[in-house]
Amino acid sequence: MRKSNLIISAAILSLASVSAQAAILYSASVVRTEDGDATPGAPAYSSSAGTTGHILFDDAFINRPGSNSALNLTNVSVGLIQSGNAAATNVKIYLAPMLDNTAVNATGNDPDNTSSDAVPDVGSPILLGTVPLPANPNAVAENVILSAATNTDLQGYTGYAGKLGFYVGVEFETDDTTHGWAIAKTNTLTVPFPSVYQTYDYNTNSGTTLGYNLDVAWDYTNTSSFEEFAGLPASDAAGPITTTLWTEVQGSIIPEPTTASLLIAGSALLLRRKR
């Protein structure tokens, strides 16, 4: 299992969601500070793959209405932390499908780690865009939110009852430990891995869950070579630390054909009644 970099930087807790008109499907947008400190400037955890050319992928799960499984995703935002005086770099933002390869000891991309065989593999990455990350001219760390607009249809993973899953990825063009993807807050879960944790949405005063996340991420090189990310301590004074990364995804769930047909028929009926 690869040991990836851990960065602890001073977080600005005004790191806020950047929602527009589109519906927020998934939100893990509350920073998880070290020792649970909620004061502005409190230290926070952040992580990177630790090697230039590698992508750090985190999972995202949303509620699944009925039997719908297709998604149309329109915007992906990621919350980053820069160390003091960090140089400028470019950040690539990705989506990827989840692959149904979860049998223990299955032939997969991380065959040396049977615990991660219980987690869906990462499918072929979809690059949404390359976003410039300006240098941090200050001696103290700064928070930055970067967004990539998209119009991507993706099949959600249905292996978890009542949920749809997919992956979001971040790649730093220069991965030199001065930039990191911020760790987000989750609820405390007592059931064993690979159960999902609930995430928290900044827009609803940190009190509303808007998504689910597994305590795992992937250090990804290509479709035949990636390993479970392992760069965080298991816990601190505030409790367990889960590998949940600051992410907000906007878009919609595409109705299944039968449902869509009913919606169209219902609209036509309404139109006829208005004549």
**pLDDT tens digits along 13-64:** 445 444 444 689 999 998 888 877 777 777 888 888 888 889 999 999 999 9
pLDDT at position 190:
61
- Residue-wise pLDDT tens digits, 56-93: 999 999 999 888 899 999 999 999 999 889 999 999 99
With contact defined as beta carbons under 8 Å apart, do 29 and 217 qualify? no
Euclidean distance between CA atoms 31 and 245, whole angstroms: 9
Give the residue among 207, 165, 154 at the shortest CA–CA distance from 185: 207
Share the mean pLDDT of the chain.
78
Least confident of 16-25, 49-58, 181-190, 196-205: 16-25
| More reliable by pLDDT, 228 or 118 | 228
Between 95 and 240, whose confidence is greater? 95
Predicted local confidence at residue 169, as pLDDT? 97
pLDDT band at 116 (very low <50, low <70, confident <90, very high): low
pLDDT at 187 over 50: yes
Q: In sequence order, which ranges of 185-237 are alpha helices (DSSP H)?
A: none
pLDDT value of position 260:
44
Three-class DSSP category at 116: helix
Contact present, 68 and 255 (Cβ < 8 Å): yes
Amino acid, res. 255: P
> pLDDT at position 141, please?
84
Give pLDDT, residue 192: 62
CA neighbor of 217 nearest in space, from 205, 231, 206, 204: 231
Q: Which residues contact 104 (CB under 8 A, 6 or more apart)?
A: 114, 117, 118
Give which of 234, 94, 72 is closest to 155, Cα–Cα.
Answer: 72
Is pTM, for the whole model, over 0.85?
A: no
The C-alpha atoms of residue 258 and residue 164 are separated, in whole angstroms, by 19
Answer for the pair 92, 127: CB distance below 8 angstroms, yes or no.
yes
3-state helix, strand, coil in the chain (%, to 5): 10, 45, 45
271 pLDDT band (50/70/90 cuts)?
Answer: very low
| pLDDT computed for residue 272 by the predictor | 42
Q: Which residues, listed in sequence order, are joined to residue 99 by a DSSP beta bridge?
A: 121
- Pair type for strands 197-200 and 89-96: unpaired
Give 120's pLDDT tier (boundaries 50, 70, 90).
confident
32-42 burial: b if 16+ Cβ within 10 Å, else e = bbbeeeeeeeb
Question: How many residues does the structure list for the chain?
Answer: 275
How much is the pLDDT for 104?
A: 45
> Residue 258: is its pLDDT beyond 50?
no
Cα–Cα nearest to 17, from 266, 189, 246, 273: 246
Q: How far apart are CA 5 and CA 49, in angstroms?
A: 7
- Max distance between CA atoms of the chain, in angstroms, equals 68
Between 32-46, 52-66, 97-111, 238-252, the lowest mean confidence (pLDDT) is in 97-111
Q: CA-to-CA distance for 11 and 141, rounded, in angstroms?
A: 7
Per-residue model confidence (pLDDT) at position 89: 94
What is the per-residue pLDDT for 2?
A: 43
Confidence of residue 257 (pLDDT cuts 50, 70, 90): low
Query: DSSP letter at 15?
Result: -
